[in-house]
Structure 1
Amino acid sequence: MFGLIGHSTSFAAARNLARSLGFEEYAEGDLDMWCSAPPQLVERISVTSPTGKRIEGAYIDSVFVPEMLSRFKTAKRKVLNAMELAQKTGIDITALGGFTSIIFEDFKLLREQQVRATTLDWTRFTTGNTHTAWVLCRQVEENAPKLGIDLHLAKVAVVGATGDIGSAVCRWLSQRTGVQELLLVARRPQPLADLQQELGGGRILPLEEALSEADVVVWVASLAQASSIDPSRLPRPCLMVDGGYPKNLDTRAAGDGIHVLKGGIVEFGSDIGWQMMEAAEMARPQRQMFACFAEAMLLEFEGLHTNFSWGRNNITLEKMDLIGAASLRHGFQALGLDVPAAVPSLSIP
Structure 2
Amino acid sequence: MSALPFAFLVHPRARIAEDLARVWRPLGRLPEGVVERAVRWLPLPPFSMARVHLPDEGPEPVGHVVLVPFGARHLLGEPHEGRARVGRAIDHAARLGAGVVGLGALTATVTAGGVTLRDRTDVGVTNGNAFTAAVVEDQLLTLLGDAGRRRVAVVGATGSVGTALVRLLARSRAADELLLVARGAAKLGTLAAETHRRVPTAVSTDLHDVRGCDVVVLLTASADALLRAEHLAPGALVLDATQPRNTSPKLLDERPDVTVVDGGVVAVPDMRLRGGNIGLPQGRAYACFAETALLGLDGHQGHFSLGVPTPDQVDHVRHLAGRFARHGFAAAPATSFGRPLEERAAVVAGAR
TM-score interval (norm. to shorter): 0.7 to 0.9
1:266–1:253: structure 2 CA closer, same or farther, 3 Å change rule?
same
Identity %: 26
Aligned to 1:272: 272
> Displacement, 1:72?
4.0
Give the stretch that moved more between structures: 37-46 or 189-198: 37-46
> Displacement, 1:162?
0.8
Aligned to 1:8: 12
**Contact kept in structure 1, 2:39 and 2:70, CA below 8 Å:** no
3-state DSSP class of the match of 2:53?
A: strand
Q: What amino acid is aligned across from residue 108 of structure 2 in structure 1?
A: S
**Contact kept in structure 2, 1:53 and 1:301, CA below 8 Å:** no
Aligned to 1:79: 86
CA offset digits 1:252-286 (Å, max 9, x no partner) = 53223311111111121225143432xx432x2x1
Q: TM-score under structure 2 normalisation?
A: 0.79
> Displacement, 1:232?
8.2
**Contact kept in structure 2, 1:144 and 1:239, CA below 8 Å:** no
Aligned to 1:215: 214
3-state DSSP class of the match of 1:105?
A: coil
Distance 1:48 1:177 in 2: 39
Which runs of no fewer than 5 residues in structure 2 stay unpaired?
343-352
1:35–1:104: structure 2 CA closer, same or farther, 3 Å change rule?
farther
> Displacement, 1:13?
2.5
> Displacement, 1:339?
5.1
Aligned to 1:249: 247
> Displacement, 1:122?
6.8
Distance 2:106 2:166 in 1: 22
1:34–1:334: structure 2 CA closer, same or farther, 3 Å change rule?
farther
Matches within 5 A, 1:178-327: 178-199=174-195, 200=197, 201-221=200-220, 225=224, 227=226, 229-231=228-230, 233-236=232-235, 238-254=236-252, 255-277=255-277, 280-282=278-280, 284=281, 286-311=282-307, 313=308, 315-327=309-321
> Displacement, 1:40?
1.0
CA offset digits 1:133-165 (Å, max 9, x no partner) = 1111111011222xx624xx3111100111111
Q: TM-score under structure 1 normalisation?
A: 0.80
Determine whether 1:331 maps to 2:328. Answer: yes
**Contact kept in structure 2, 1:35 and 1:74, CA below 8 Å:** no
Determine whether 1:63 maps to 2:59. Answer: no
Q: What amino acid is aligned across from residue 332 of structure 1 in structure 2?
A: F
> Displacement, 1:178?
3.2
Give the stretch that moved more between structures: 324-333 or 82-91: 324-333
Give the stretch that moved more between structures: 164-173 or 12-21: 12-21
Which runs of no fewer than 5 residues in structure 1 stay unpaired?
114-119, 341-349
Aligned to 1:130: 130
3-state DSSP class of the match of 1:37?
A: coil
Distance 2:100 2:224 in 1: 34
Distance 1:309 1:316 in 2: 8
Distance 1:209 1:21 in 2: 41
Distance 1:210 1:32 in 2: 37
> Displacement, 1:184?
0.8
Q: What amino acid is aligned across from residue 317 of structure 2 in structure 1?
A: I
Distance 2:147 2:122 in 1: 42
3-state DSSP class of the match of 2:112?
A: helix
Distance 1:275 1:299 in 2: 23
**Contact kept in structure 1, 2:101 and 2:123, CA below 8 Å:** no
> Displacement, 1:224?
7.2
Aligned to 1:344: none
CA offset digits 1:214-244 (Å, max 9, x no partner) = 11111101577485523585142x2211012
Distance 1:291 1:81 in 2: 24
Distance 1:334 1:21 in 2: 34
Q: What amino acid is aligned across from residue 220 of structure 2 in structure 1?
A: A
> Displacement, 1:89?
2.4
Distance 2:6 2:26 in 1: 21
Q: What amino acid is aligned across from residue 327 of structure 1 in structure 2?
A: A
Q: What amino acid is aligned across from residue 229 of structure 2 in structure 1?
A: D
**Contact kept in structure 2, 1:11 and 1:67, CA below 8 Å:** no
Give the stretch that moved more between structures: 13-22 or 192-201: 13-22
